[in-house]
Amino acid sequence: MALTITSSSQENTARLTLVGEVDGTTAPDLRIQVDKLLTSATRMLVLDVEQLTFMSSAGLRVLIFAKQKQPMLNIYVLKPQPPIVDTLRKTGFYDGVYVTDVEPDTGTAKA
Amino acid sequence: MVEIEFPRSFRIGGVYAMIVFDLDYEDLEYGYRLSGPYNPSRGLRFDHSKILSDPYARVLGGRDVWRAEPDWNNIYQHRSRLAFDDFDWEGDYPLETPIQDLVFYELHVRGFTAQSSSQVSAPGTYAGLREKIPYLKELGINCVELLPIYEFDEWENNRHHPETGELLLNYWGYSTVAFFAPKAGYAATGGLGMQVDELKTTIKELHRNGIEVVLDVVFNHTAEGDHRGPTISFRGIDNQAYYMLTPEGYYYNFSGCGNTLNCNHPVARNMVIDCLRYWASEYHIDGFRFDLASILGRDQSGAPLSNPPLLESLAFDPVLSKCKLIAEAWDAGGLYQVGSFPAYGRWAEWNGKYRDAIRRFIKGDEGVVEEMATRIQGSPDLYWYRGPTASTNFITCHDGFTLQDLVSFNGKHNEANGENNNDGGNDNNSWNCGWEGESTDPAVNELRTRQIKNAVTILMVSQGVPMILMGDEIGRTQKGNNNAYCHDNEYSWMDWTLAETNPCMLRFFQKLIAFRHAHPALRRNGFFAHRDIRGTGSADITFHGLRPFAPDYSAWSRCLAFMLSGPNASEPDDDIYIAMNMYWDALPFRVPRACNDSPWKIAINTSMPSPQDIFEQGGEPNLGNEEIVVGPRSIIVLTADTRSFKGEK
């Protein structure tokens, strides 16, 4: 299944909506989008993954890439499905992101 | 799939190097095809038809999910992959806990949580182990020693269970396929290729809880076996360099597993050093226990070396300088080096002589008391130049009976291994307490419980570094099987319901480990001087019998007492008196005076039911007498508060 990415950004917040699957084939597209969106001013990255059914190692590594590119970044993983939460927990990624079912307040991006 | 030939310009000497651009490094699997002469009598076994895995592969595909049957027609079974060094350790480092302060807990990553009774979300995995950290912390251990987690092939076994017909496995994993790759089948996320992250996350969490991680590493042989074994990597790359070969080109078998890694060949030696450095730096591993380590001291023809280059290099390696290095100081070729392992003042050893002496003492053998006096001091006869921390003390380990089985079986019962009960050791020094196997006799079971408490009490009051086997604290049984290497089932798995049926045993272990942690006199890093340095009136250790200062070392003696002087310890401590009576009747022990005539309190009495068997610190009852009756086959430990003693410096 393919991956559809919708992106937007405003002030210090970048937002990506992911639909489909992030695997070894589609992860590079995600990485390119993240690379494009993040600027030195970006403090918050919101990944709306409600309609994402699978995220592979390659996809999770994009989160690391984002953190490395912008160390001050807070990553919000919005409405992930249980298998994705499970993978995030077991691999330790869970501790490095905010997993939430509630739309984060983009006006309060933390430093 | 694509196959790229190495042009001549990409080779210098015997080194081939190539950069291939535009590969998808996330999904890349790679291997090598080598051509060369096939001439076994000269030790050459090149095979152009095989695709070989990289000896330095950081991740291996092909056995991603435990026990998922592979495609046997695939000519490339173990496929090299890439790992990434982007893990966020969040400031974690190896803990560097002084070795004398450690209490090892030997566990099998899968077996620890595989049974549903573990109630973890991912049974049998690194993630499952992580969920059980609170249990380990409550137990009080501060170092887990993991049975092999290097990539191995659980399918490497062709035996069947003689009754059920079930295919047996290589469950323990003492047969390495790739030294640099963590076992994917132990990761809940192995199917996603994320075993590296899962393992690192588990290590980070263990460290956060003050628990070190020591790996059981198997450098004595590989999974390629003898001349009939599969060609996976080393055999097809440089058979002569990686393996010890007979003059006829066959494999020396000092490991008992078909081949022997040629550890003192420069190429193999460098691989071992590179590998350990990688695990220490990349995975923050705190130490290594070397399986059949005596092989690492043999030369290329198999003869023992007086100054083995590999062992010396490891002892003085700067990257590994804070890592614990522990040798299983024997091999299957008959070399037994407990106490004489080439240690360079650095290596510790699994002390097999300690195990044997304690087992014989608690079962009531004659002629052991004098040796006991040596073993509880950290075996100065073996480790005089290294100190007591060179002695890893253990009574049980994965190899042999569990502690429950040690007191429940006179002989091994390995029929389920499919070898007509011929495998496994016969020198168990075990005693079934009157009935072979599980018993409904309350007297038998009470005695077994007491013997377990005796064993672990001796272990925890001995100088040296104690090691407990997974599940001994709750009475785990392997039904008399003393070689459960092939059982991925109830024989080997931790039965967590035992924690509920044996809460008193678990409590005893927890309190006893806490007792050891509370008393520096039990955790010396130097041998006793047998002198009274602080002027307390008593040497740092004194030995006693039924009367003070009169130990009975005669052949028929079965009891021994000793006293540790608290003020003569490295930090101020209580005086501690331990009376061990392995005679079948109660015996009265007159107790020596503690420093400053401080009153003795009863900390431990293994003949009493829980909770009177061990008391919380501060809650111990006074002895109130100069004599104490130690029950049949029982141990009593007394303490006297001497911490405020102000003596000579």
For residue B187, which residues of chain A lie inside 8 Å, CB to CB? 90
Kindly state the tokens that stand for B610.
């829980």
* Residue at token pair 């080439």: B342
Catalytic residue among B197, B216, B291, B331: B291
Distances (CA, A) of A69 to A31, A40, B227: 11, 9, 51
- What is the structure's pLDDT at B646? 79
Show me where the domains of chain B are located.
99-521, 529-640
pLDDT surpasses 90 at B199: yes
For residue B27, which residues of chain A lie inside 8 Å, CB to CB? 24, 58
How large is the average pLDDT for residues B615-622?
A: 93
Query: What is chain A's length?
Result: 111
Main-chain phi, psi angles of B162, to 5 degrees: -65, -25
Catalytic residue among B106, B197, B286, B328: B328
C-alpha–C-alpha distance, residues B186 and B111, integer Å:
10
Show me where the domains of chain A are located.
3-108
In this predicted complex, what is the ipTM? 0.79
pLDDT surpasses 70 at B295: yes
C-alpha–C-alpha distance, residues B204 and B181, integer Å:
18
Assess B87–A contact: CB distance below 8 Å, yes or no. yes
pLDDT surpasses 70 at B132: yes
Distance from CA of B195 to the nearest CA of A (A): 8
Query: What is chain B's length?
Result: 649
Assess A86–B contact: CB distance below 8 Å, yes or no. yes
Distance from CA of B150 to the nearest CA of A (A): 18
For residue B201, which residues of chain A lie inside 8 Å, CB to CB? 90-92
pLDDT in tens, B418-464: 999 999 999 999 999 999 999 999 999 999 999 999 999 999 999 99
Q: Which of B637, B648, B440 is CA-nearest to residue B535?
A: B648
pLDDT in tens, B133-178: 999 999 999 999 999 999 999 999 889 999 899 899 999 999 999 9
* Mean per-residue pLDDT over chain B, rounded: 95
Chain centre to alpha carbon of residue B210: 18
Kindly state the tokens that stand for A95.
């501790």
- What is the structure's pLDDT at B649? 47
DSSP string, A20-75: EEE-TTTHHHHHHHHHHH--TT--EEEEEEEEEEEE-HHHHHHHHHHHHH-TT-EE
Assess A67–B contact: CB distance below 8 Å, yes or no. yes
pLDDT surpasses 70 at A90: yes
How large is the average pLDDT for residues A74-97?
A: 91
Task: Evaluate whether B561 touches B547 at the Cβ level (below 8 Å).
Answer: no
Burial bucket for residue B154 (CB in 10 Å: 0-12, 13-18, 19+): buried
How large is the average pLDDT for residues B566-570?
A: 92
How big is the A-B interface in CB pairs under 8 Å? 58
- What is the structure's pLDDT at A110? 43
User: What percentage of chain A has pLDDT greater than the value 90?
Assistant: 50
The most confident of the ranges A41-50, B72-81, B507-516 is B507-516
Assess A69–B contact: CB distance below 8 Å, yes or no. no
C-alpha–C-alpha distance, residues B406 and B417, integer Å:
19
Cα dihedral sign, B30-B35-B40-B44: negative
C-alpha–C-alpha distance, residues B602 and B640, integer Å:
9
**B192–A67 CB contact, under 8 Å:** no
Architecture of domain A3-108: 2-Layer Sandwich (3.30)
Q: How confident is the model at residue A109 (pLDDT cuts 50, 70, 90)?
A: very low
C-alpha–C-alpha distance, residues A100 and A97, integer Å:
9
- What is the structure's pLDDT at B648? 54
Main-chain phi, psi angles of B15, to 5 degrees: -110, 125
- What is the structure's pLDDT at A107? 63
Q: Which amino acid is at B258?
A: G
How large is the average pLDDT for residues B251-270?
A: 94
- What is the structure's pLDDT at B350? 97
Q: How confident is the model at residue B27 (pLDDT cuts 50, 70, 90)?
A: confident
Active site residue B328: yes
Assess B200–A contact: CB distance below 8 Å, yes or no. yes
C-alpha–C-alpha distance, residues B76 and B174, integer Å:
22
Question: Given the DSSP bridges, would you call strands B212-217 and B287-290 parallel, antiparallel or unpaired?
Answer: parallel
Task: Evaluate whether A90 touches B113 at the Cβ level (below 8 Å).
Answer: no
- What is the structure's pLDDT at A93? 87
pLDDT in tens, B399-408: 999 999 999 9
Chain centre to alpha carbon of residue B256: 19
Quick one: angle between helices A27-37 and A57-69, nearest 10? 20
**A57–B194 CB contact, under 8 Å:** yes
Mapping DSSP to helix (H, G, I), strand (E, B) and coil, where does residue B54 land?
A: coil
Active site residue B574: no
C-alpha–C-alpha distance, residues B363 and B431, integer Å:
6
Spelled out in words, what is the top-level CATH class assigned to the domain B529-640?
A: mainly beta
Scored b (16 or more CB within 10 A) or e, B199-224 reads bbbbbbbbbeeebbbbbbbbbbbbbb
Q: Which residue has the higher pLDDT, B310 or A108?
A: B310
Q: How confident is the model at residue B625 (pLDDT cuts 50, 70, 90)?
A: confident
Residue of A nearest to B27 (CA): A24
Assess B197–A contact: CB distance below 8 Å, yes or no. yes
Mapping DSSP to helix (H, G, I), strand (E, B) and coil, where does residue A89 land?
A: helix
Does CATH place domain B99-521 in 1.20.120.430? Answer: no
Q: How confident is the model at residue B325 (pLDDT cuts 50, 70, 90)?
A: very high
- What is the structure's pLDDT at A56? 86
